[in-house]
Amino acid sequence: MNKRGLGRGLDALLGEASTAGETQTEIPIDQIEPNPRQPRKTFDVVALDELALSIKASGVIQPIVVRRGLAGRWQLIAGERRWRAARQAGLERIPAVVREATDSESLELALVENLLREDLNPMEEAEAYQQILGEFGWTVSIQDDLRANRLTMGHARALLALTSLADQMKLRDDILAQSWSVRATEEGVQKQRASPPPRRSAELSALEESLQRALLTRVRIVGNERRGRIEIVYATTDELNRLAAALGAQS
């Protein structure tokens, strides 16, 4: 996955306070805690000293981004370097944008900020991607789509609103087939959640989901227990070859 695979970019991710109903305020520095999901583990001491001197002279130009933590405290989403430098410069308060964010959104913001500013070393970058791909419930197929830039983080995050693997894979196929934007994906998620599921036996639904888990792609059983067909969906030649091998077909 390259840096463009994260989707919207830093300005869009950090600059939506007015449209999202977020507020900018000043927060006591000692009430802020680092983001435990921060991809960057090391901070350049010289660069931090230089930033602290700049903050002493001009203040904090760009606010940090935080979300509410426990016991009245705040947790950093983006801007740990500014927060550290401000604390080093002796500031008691720091300008901050307060944002409602899930764990996955918080990690994505931190990763985007560091990647676009080229602040991560290769190991930190790899570990951050692995954390995003493995921690938030995406199927192997969706993880592969993210790595190959067929889906962005915005697409994948929208799909998490669907709890059913079958629903996720159905919408994923629509995204790839119709080149949906993230907004179109979110609208598709809303429509799918509003649509009542068709009546079918629990056994047939369980079998369909078992086939999807086994083949790591969308499988649809059309019909009933006595008669029907099985549809297996693929989106790329590589995926077709993988399915053929899994089914024991000769190439």
| Full-model pTM | 0.44
Higher confidence at residue 22 or residue 246? 246
When pLDDT is cut at 50, 70 and 90, the band that residue 9 belongs to is very low
Residue-level pLDDT at 2: 41
3-state secondary structure (DSSP) of residue 176: helix
What tokens does 147 get?
Answer: 């790595």
Which position has the higher pLDDT, 4 or 250? 250
> First CA to last CA across the chain, in angstroms?
29
**Contact (Cβ atoms closer than 8 angstroms) between residue 200 and residue 222:** no
Helix (H) or strand (E) holding 23: strand 23-28
Predicted confidence (pLDDT) per residue in 176-217, tens digit? 989 999 999 999 988 887 766 556 677 887 888 888 878 888
Active site residues: 80
The model's confidence at residue 10, banded by pLDDT at 50, 70 and 90, is very low
Main-chain phi, psi angles of 230, to 5 degrees = -115, 125
- Mean pLDDT lowest for which of 28-37, 106-115, 139-148, 184-193? 106-115
Mean pLDDT, residues 226-232 taken together:
82
Tell which wins on pLDDT, 171 or 238: 171
Domain 3-116 bears CATH identifier 3.90.1530.10: yes
Q: What ranges do the domains of the chain cover?
A: 3-116, 137-246
